Structure 1
Amino acid sequence: MSLHRALARHGPAGLGLLLGLLALGPALGPGFVLRYDMVFVPDPPLVFGPVFGSGGSGGFPRAVPSDQVVALLSAVLPAQVAQKLILLGLFVLAASGAAALVPPGTEDGRTAGRFAAAAFYAWNAYLAQRLLLGQWALLLGFAGLPWAVRAAAGGGSTGRYAVRLAVALVPAAIGGFQATLVTAITVLPVAALTRRARAVPGSLLVIGLVIGLLSLPWLVPALGARAVTDPAGVDAFAARADGPFGTLGSLLTLGGVWNAEAEVPGQGSWAVAAVRLALTAVALAGFAGLVRAGERRSRGLAVAAVAGLGVACLGAFAPGVLKGLIGWWAGFGPFRDGQLFIAPLVLCQALGFAVVVHRLGRLGAAAVAVPVLVLPTFALGAFGRLAAVDYPGEWRRVQAIVNGDPAPGALVSLPWGAHRAFAWNGGRVILDPATKMFSRPVVWDDTLVVERRAGGAIRVAPEAPAARRIGDLIRGGQGSLTAEFAAQGVRFVLIEQSNENEFLSRLSGASPIFRGEELLLLRL
């Protein structure tokens, strides 16, 4: 293989690795990267049955099967190493997949186009914002999306088609229900508008069966869950403006996530937003050229992008419709966070940018750096918003005590709130690590309170029945909780020391079995 061909074939993956190293920066140091939903823990337990992915509290299985895959990896690698390999793998998989979708052209032009697509898809506001929200499992599906599109548009016998599709869908399957849903919305129109008319029904059936089989780890517990979805989440999770061009402008420039803390530094400034909008216009013009040229996958991708953008706009511009759907059936809950469905639009723009770079010929090589230059503050962990830290030793000691106890029973984590901001984590907000550390059901408050820029807050009620019951007991007065917790099957209560006085008097008779500087563990 010539050097030029080797570069064209393997170079995009190498570029993805370089972009990952640049984006993560300090997060690649010793320790764990902990931010919002990204909670990796030392020695994560491998658990099945009622604990599998739902914390044992009856909520929707949001971390299935991603947590179990992490636990399996951590059985052969240190958990912090496994996390870093996963995060770097996102960039490599995304870059190489986008490059593989670039249509054929002249050899020099196609090489530049492949690198351009790789750079765009591995460095954009969508990936940055979702990473800063800690949604690494969703990003697995995003990174694997180009490969899924390639497999869905491919030919061959039914058996070979199904095998290739199943392999391509593995990242989304590991990512769980959100990653799988975004992928399904993308690959179905691609298959319908790419394959021969006679093969379309069979292809769609194969896609449905493969997605259904790969979804069983989260689909089975989801169907059996007694969780509820609060329609108030539509207002909390709706796409929002993160720049001067409004909500629609933010979505078109691949931003618009609901949480303002997920913005990279300076993202909302006029200069940065204007340059990103100009890049969007160029990329969409390039993609429109693909569609006009009849490139077979582009039509299906265009349909998926329009559909995804429509879902993203629904919560922002027609919230009543989505609230009505959720009130009718909780299964519409995943559409609350509509911005995540613009993933196919990101892929369209990456391919469109590749087309433009291809037309520049040899000058196109310099344009590969443009995606990085228009969002420079994504570098170095978004200027320190991502960093590696280690858990204090007492977390590991509590984990060993609880996981070493053979007696059944759940653990209640207090104070009663989903998120924490520890000093040892630089004050970064994370989901309570107790939800991931123990091999028994953990009952925690999955209520979400979203502060609005205009003032006030939106309170999204908890999904899990056990969380609602325990929450009612805690808020029910100042009486003893010991007997009530025991009646709910609770064996351990884990309390942050700063909240000890609030709860200890209500847990008379419980035995303190560990007391550290930060944590107090009680056994009922």
Structure 2
Amino acid sequence: MRGRHTAAAAGTGLVLGALAVGPGLAPGFVLSYDMVFVPHPVFSRATFGLTGMLPRHVPSDAVVTALSHLAPADLVQKAILLAIFVLACASASTLVPSERLLPRLAAGVVYAWNPFVAERLLLGQWALLLGYAGLPLVVTAAARGDHRRLALALLPAAVGGFAALAVSGLVALTVGWRGARSLLATAAVLLLVALPWLVPSLLRVSSAPADAAGVAAFAARADTPFGALGSLLLLGGAWNAETVPGGYGGLLTALIWLLVVAVAVVAYARGDRIRGLVVAAAAGLVLASLGVVAPGVLRGAIGLWSGFALLRDGQQFVAPLAVLVAAGAGMAVGRLPGWVAPALLLPLLLLPGLAWGAGGRLRAVHYPADWARARTVVAADPGDVLVLPWEAYRGYPWNGERRVLDPLPRFLPGRVIVNDGVRVAVPGGRAIDLAAEDPRARELDALVRSGAPLTAALAAHGVRYVAIDAGAPDSRLAGAERVVSGPDLALYRLPGAVQAHEAHPAQLPVYIAWFITFVTFIWSVRVPTSNLVETSPPEES
């Protein structure tokens, strides 16, 4: 019976995913902020976090690259996006201690369709959402104190990488805490599954800038009339105002969302619950609000250790509260049978802006032919590529001017240098410029911004090509050979480029880290899948 309920919840999640992604399911790629998929990705040092920006994309990029050798990359992207909704709905349904299907479905729908999911999807943070989708399974495994099951439950977060594992780690440590021994065992499991991104992060820690300016840039923002803290309580409050779905944030819908959250929290508190989840939700809410209520404390912490920069984008730590709200909503529906139909439809009615690709904002597009020609040229005559304009996020005409993290570093073979320092607009009409993380970008930043001729100077720094938007000024590239010319991209080859000598961390520790994590998951798969999704975890004493 429970297996059939989980299958029904998974099917419901598939329908919700298709409704949310909408036009993104057409042929092509969905490119939105941090969501960057490219055709025919290849493994490189950057894939494993050994060069370029810090390894936030590890191991997610490597997993996507591996899957793209088995199926077309655009199909891989669509499968991942749909899997997020399937897993979210199915896993949340297992937290409701009821033998009836509809209360479980209510929990799944609330968990898969809420402001947190909508805003993070528009931000393109599919890797974080993958970990979010599996978070209820982490709750169950941690509550049972079964560390083999916990390792398997952490697989989606492990694929997602550092942000997904940070959120899942908070839940695992708080829910599974039964003393020092259990805490150490849980921490050991987290460490083992985090090694693929943790090791390259530690190898490159000396080159990581500690830019505390990001505290103001990424602090939670109000997307409801209740201010930033109230918006966090309603599972919203993402830092980027452009990612608020259409129709969300009005007074009436915000009041109803507040009522849903309040009823769910009360129902969870009165039901057969995992009390550690309450602690995780409260701790997550505190972390999410740090950038609003105590920005000075957070800036000071980042100044002491750059690793605390993880807390700048605090809204991601609202995820444990979303688990609690979803489980509580299912418990409330279980006590109020007459509210089943409204409970299943209410999230969609309160958040219609997520439907059909967030109102068409998540549309599939094709990369221009100019880009493919540039890839062929660079593959035939390899060399470092510098990308202009000197910006991290771009609004391409062929992508409907929607902002996206520059895809060229993943699209072109070899070493691609972009300015990965992010500019974030903040209230008051100001903009905050964050320091670049890529050592080569920091090395060349002053030169690129100087306005001086670039051809000889870049060649002397080991740059062989410059990729520039077609129609953008190229007067600083006098003497360079234009080898690709088209309506979307121009590629210049610089004469006399020297061989670049870039220091790289040792690869062997990274290979060992991947092997250890792989062995950990092999060890964990001895847990039967039916046990992994077993419902009604025991109440903590």
Common fold by TM > 0.5: yes
- 2:292 is matched with which residue: 316, 321, 330? 316
1:293-316 deviations in Å (ceiling 9; x for gaps): 5x3x2x111111111110111101
CA contact (8 A) 2:51 2:438 kept: no
More off after superposition, 436-445 vs 65-74:
436-445
Q: Secondary structure at the match of 1:95?
A: helix
Paired residues for 1:293-442 under 5 Å: 293=272, 295=273, 297=274, 299-361=275-337, 363-405=339-381, 407=382, 409-442=383-416
- 1:234 is matched with which residue: 197, 211, 215? 215
In structure 2, do the counterparts of structure 1 residues 52 and 80 end up closer, same or farther at CA, with 3 Å as the change threshold?
closer
Deviation at 1:505? 3.3
CA contact (8 A) 1:125 1:253 kept: yes
2: CA distance, partners of 1:100 / 1:6: 10
Query: AA paired with 1:44?
Result: P
Residue in 1 aligned with 2:42?
A: 45
1:338-393 deviations in Å (ceiling 9; x for gaps): 11111000000001101100001365244222221221221111111111111111
More off after superposition, 94-103 vs 504-513:
504-513
2: CA distance, partners of 1:191 / 1:25: 38
In structure 2, do the counterparts of structure 1 residues 22 and 389 end up closer, same or farther at CA, with 3 Å as the change threshold?
same
In structure 2, do the counterparts of structure 1 residues 495 and 518 end up closer, same or farther at CA, with 3 Å as the change threshold?
same
1:171-211 deviations in Å (ceiling 9; x for gaps): 1111111111111011111101xxxx5xx434322322222
- 1:459 is matched with which residue: 403, 412, 433? 433
Residue in 2 aligned with 1:175?
A: 160
2: CA distance, partners of 1:404 / 1:208: 47
Q: Secondary structure at the match of 1:205?
A: helix
CA contact (8 A) 1:444 1:467 kept: yes
Residue in 1 aligned with 2:117?
A: 127
2: CA distance, partners of 1:172 / 1:112: 27
CA contact (8 A) 1:309 1:342 kept: yes
Gap runs ≥5 in structure 1: 156-160
1: CA distance, partners of 2:307 / 2:3: 46
CA contact (8 A) 1:253 1:277 kept: yes
1: CA distance, partners of 2:3 / 2:202: 47
1:237-278 deviations in Å (ceiling 9; x for gaps): 000111111111101100000101110102121122122111
Residue in 1 aligned with 2:470?
A: 497
1: CA distance, partners of 2:3 / 2:199: 44
Residue in 1 aligned with 2:135?
A: 145
1:447-473 deviations in Å (ceiling 9; x for gaps): 222222422222222222221111111
Matched, 1:96 2:90: yes
1:137-185 deviations in Å (ceiling 9; x for gaps): 1111101111112222225xxxxx3432221111111111111111101
CA contact (8 A) 1:243 1:268 kept: yes
- 2:476 is matched with which residue: 492, 503, 506? 506
More off after superposition, 366-375 vs 385-394:
366-375
CA contact (8 A) 1:55 1:443 kept: no
The normalised TM-score by structure 2 is: 0.87
Q: Tell me the number of residue pairs that the alignment of Structure 1 and Structure 2 aligns.
A: 492
CA contact (8 A) 1:42 1:396 kept: no
Gap runs ≥5 in structure 2: 495-541
Deviation at 1:523? 2.2
Residue in 2 aligned with 1:276?
A: 257
In structure 2, do the counterparts of structure 1 residues 6 and 205 end up closer, same or farther at CA, with 3 Å as the change threshold?
closer
CA contact (8 A) 2:90 2:108 kept: yes
Deviation at 1:482? 2.9
Matched, 1:214 2:187: no
Deviation at 1:444? 0.7
CA contact (8 A) 1:46 1:439 kept: no
Deviation at 1:53? 4.6
Deviation at 1:410? 2.2
2: CA distance, partners of 1:402 / 1:214: 36
More off after superposition, 203-212 vs 16-25:
203-212
Query: AA paired with 2:84?
Result: L
Residue in 2 aligned with 1:117?
A: 107
What is the Cα-based RMSD across aligned positions, in Å?
1.7
Residue in 2 aligned with 1:158?
A: none
2: CA distance, partners of 1:202 / 1:5: 32
Residue in 2 aligned with 1:517?
A: 487
Identical pairs, percent: 50
Q: Secondary structure at the match of 1:240?
A: coil
Query: AA paired with 2:173?
Result: L
In structure 2, do the counterparts of structure 1 residues 202 and 439 end up closer, same or farther at CA, with 3 Å as the change threshold?
farther
- 1:56 is matched with which residue: 51, 58, 63? 51
